Amino acid sequence: MSLYTGANLLLGKKAWDPYPLILLNLFLSALAAIQAHVIMMSQNRQDTKDRLRGELDLDVNKRSMRLEGLDPTNINALSRAIVVHSAWYVNKRVIGAYGVLGRSQGCFAVADASLPEITDRLGPGRLIYAGKAQALRRGGVRCRQ
């Protein structure tokens, strides 16, 4: 693309696509229009996979709590089925063996024994504030049942 643009600019009025490079603009616009559909389809597919994963978590745990985002940084929490759930990897053995707790794909994972107390304390209308230790950011979520 740089070669195409450079050649057309150097040739000036003799160029096959003189400055403002209308032919190049037409080509790139057509490419963007085609790619937009592919990108949107892949995003919709990923949203569907995330929602199914969240519903599976709800079905498996039966004691999960769905969350609703309140801040612009997490307003998709409900549609992505972000939940508070128990997970086998939330224990001292996993941390000792791997140095980290595990991965929950955006959900709040807690120890099996802690889940009843946490869901009791987090009734409807309660707020969870989640932030990173390095840089705390706004990001509250509301609990739903």
Q: What pLDDT score was predicted for residue 144? A: 52
Q: What pLDDT score was predicted for residue 30? A: 93
What does the alpha-carbon distance between residue 54 and residue 82 come to, in Å, rounded to a whole number? Answer: 6
Q: What pLDDT score was predicted for residue 134? A: 46
Domain ranges of the chain: 1-62, 63-145
Say whether 87 sits in a helix, a strand or coil.
coil
Q: What pLDDT score was predicted for residue 121? A: 84
Alpha-helical runs (H) found in 78-126: 92-98, 115-121
DSSP state letter for 88 = T
CB atoms within 10 A of CB 20: 7
Q: Which amino acid is residue 70, in one-letter code?
A: L
pTM above 0.85, yes or no: no
pLDDT (tens, 9 = 90+) of the chain, 145 residues, equals: 888 888 888 888 888 788 788 888 999 999 999 998 888 888 778 777 777 776 665 555 556 777 777 777 777 777 777 778 888 888 888 888 888 777 677 788 888 888 888 888 887 777 777 765 544 444 444 445 4
Q: What pLDDT score was predicted for residue 56? A: 64
